[in-house]
Structure 1
Amino acid sequence: MTLVFGMVPLILIKLIHTSQVQHSTNLGRSPSDNVSTTRIALYKRALSFLSCFSAGVFLATCLLDLLPSVRHNLIKVLFSMSIYTGFPVAEFVMTFGLFIILIVEQIVLSFKESHSAGTRENSDNERQSLLYKSQPDEFTGSHESENSLGGLSDDPCIQSSAQTEEVALEDENSNPRAHSPLRAMLLVCALALHSIFEGLTVGLQHKIGDVLGIFAALVLHKSILSFSLGMNLVQSRISRKSAVKSILVFSIASPMGIAIGLMINDLWNSVSSGLVHGLLQGVASGTFLYIIFFEILPKEFNNGDDRLLKIFFLLIGYSAVTGILFLSDDTKHPFCVISDDAGN
């Protein structure tokens, strides 16, 4: 089911691409042009709304699922080590994870930009002469707009080689969307890590009733997350094959966690395992924050169209995960690390 929900956005983007190709083929025929243009605009609006839905899903997963899990594990570890502090350790680990992702991305982009600077300087004169001879006009310009999704331009047209080179170089160095593949891969890693730990929760259960209850909630949660991941992948500049592989990795992460949990059932309940769990989940939650506030929301809300509807879908995504979390045992049985006979 996780794989199926993850593939839905890829199917949607393929439909958009097909409509855009038909639009280009039928260019000059007034009736079909109007129909194709309207259809493409509707597809893109729908994808924009679904992208906001995915942002709400990621936000709720980060703040209502991951962060409490991090706090739960780290408090247990500190308590077992007789360390009592009011310092927000879980929140610190989460922001530390965000800074790690930010630093890694900026280092990668710095090397990439320094490497491409020399190549661009050598080709500037030639490109300027070519562009001077063939400038795109208002109706045949091929630059990707801010509303373009999944690498699809708003204006179906055929690019010349000079225009293609200019767009590629300009987008690589000035368009923030050109940086999204790295962020998409970081999101896949964070989601896969989160899924492994959730699978561990299922594998470590001893009662069949507990296993079935947690598994049902896990399937619902993962289906929504998989759809949201697919939405993020189709709006990045990775190939369709890479997107399918990423969804496959995410789909098998939970079964891997279940298998690991079954194998290490007796070894997991220890201080070191709780520390590893808390730290890795904290870094993953920081990755979620980075993707939400540096990638998805700025891109969607920088465009002034349908602002209130986008907020509505953001709230729907947040509410969907919130409702699913009420099915978990952690919500039904509040966690308290300090027992009644403790001296504190």
Structure 2
Amino acid sequence: MDYLLQVKIGALVALLLLTLFFGFIPARVKWFRDTNGTELHRAVLSLISCFAGGVFLAACLLDIIPDYLSDMKAELAARSVTTSFPLPEFIMAAGFFMVLILERLVLSCRETHGPPEEERAPLLPGRGASPAPEGHHVHVDFQAHSPFRAFMLFLSLSLHSIFEGLAIGLQSTDSKVLEICIAILVHKSIIVFSLSVKLVQSAVRPLWVAAYIGVFALMTPVGIAIGISVMEARLAAGALIQAVLEGLAAGTFIYITFLEILPHELNSPGKQLLKVLFIVLGFSTMAALTFLG
């Protein structure tokens, strides 16, 4: 087993165990069952999420996208494909729209077959006077307690997690694996923590909470395993498949960063400058890692 594969398997195990660890904290600690979320609690979650947003922003702009474009350009040149159409960028857009369409389909089904009108409120209304746009559902709405909405939250986040893992499994160097793994660890820890709080406060049965957290924890490792399989199969078209999947994963990273994490946090009231500081801090951390190689 080569070193790169060992690093990927290590990332898979670490993501699985840490997701389970952070996911079961709210399920096991009584404090989370008794509160709708204090201001301090919300502030801490928000700032950690802003830091994660900065980490993802740097991972997108400084690592994943440049590497993908380089790989795709090399593959097209090797196959003597010349076109004026921006095919690499189109593939990234396809990854972006794929996740967006899947989410809209879930929300459309919810509107058509969902529960009464009060259950059709956005998953994540803003913390101020006006609600956030429907569908911004990476973070927890501590005011809405519905098992149905909790399931929708779980389903949408699970879709993202597979593609996050895919980005790790498709990398060709151990440094890239570690960089993306750090970004996902920060992001996924806060997300699974928030998801678990939502499940607990939505009166979901403890057995179902454990099932949700367990399945969610497996999604990123499944994505990593798919990426590793593509890399290890060494098919004739394996490099091209890898490049295309990298593009789809890059589109997903763009979606998570720009349509979910950053808008939700920056559009919610309070501590705006501190939030920007944590976004810049997260970006700077990853930029420093990239600069140091």
Question: Is TM (by shorter chain) over 0.5?
Answer: yes
Q: Please name the residue that 2:274 is paired with.
A: 309
Q: Counterparts of 1:110-125 in structure 2 under 5 Å?
A: 110-116=108-114, 120=116
Write the mapping of 1:113-152 to structure 2, written as runs, cut at 5 A. 113-116=111-114, 120=116, 146-147=126-127, 150=140, 152=142
**Which residue does the alignment assign to 1:234?**
193
Structure 1 letter corresponding to 2:66: P
Taking structure 2 as the reference length, what is the TM-score of the superposition?
0.70
Where does residue 30 of structure 1 map in the other structure? none
Instruction: Report the equivalent of 1:18.
Output: 30
Contact 2:169/2:227 (8 A) holds in 1: yes
In 2, the alpha carbon distance for the partners of 1:256 and 1:72 equals 22
Q: Distance in 2 between matches of 1:85 and 1:224?
A: 34
Query: Aligned match of 2:63 in 62, 65, 85?
Result: 65
Secondary structure of 2:82's counterpart equals: coil
Which structure has the greater CA radius of gyration?
1
1:95 maps to what in 2?
93
Is structure 2 residue 213 aligned with structure 1 residue 243?
yes
Q: Determine if contact 1:13/1:234 at 8 Å carries over to the other structure.
A: yes
Residue by residue over 1:237-288, the C-alpha shift from the partner in whole angstroms, topping out at 9 and shown as x without a partner, is 5645423433344357557756775x54xx35x5x22221121111111112
Alignment of 1:174-323 (within 5 A): 180-198=153-171, 201=172, 214=174, 218-219=177-178, 221-236=180-195, 239=209, 241-251=211-221, 254=224, 261=231, 263-264=232-233, 267=234, 270=236, 272-323=237-288
Report percent identity of matched pairs: 26
**Displacement after TM superposition at 1:291 (Å):** 2.0
Structure 2 spans left out of the alignment, 5+ residues: 1-13, 129-138, 200-208
Count of residue correspondences: 256
Query: Relative to structure 2, which stretch is displaced further, 180-189 or 250-259?
Result: 250-259
Contact 2:19 2:192 in 1 (8 A): no
Deviation at 1:62, TM superposition (A): 2.2
SS of residue paired to 2:30: helix
CA contact 2:54–2:279 (8 Å) conserved in 1: yes
* AA partner of residue 70 (structure 1): Y
- In structure 2, the CA distance between the partners of 1:218 and 1:310, relative to structure 1 (3 Å rule), is same
Give the Å deviation of 1:293.
2.5
Q: TM-score of the superposition, structure 1-length normalised? A: 0.61
The aligned amino acid for 1:19 is: W
Pairwise CA RMSD of aligned residues?
A: 3.8
CA gap 1:180/1:120 in 2 versus in 1, 3 angstroms:
closer
Is the CA contact 1:230–1:243 (under 8 Å) kept in the aligned structure 2? no
State how far apart, in whole Å, the 2-side matches of 1:254 and 1:294 are: 24
| Residue 298 of structure 1: how far off its partner (Å) | 2.4
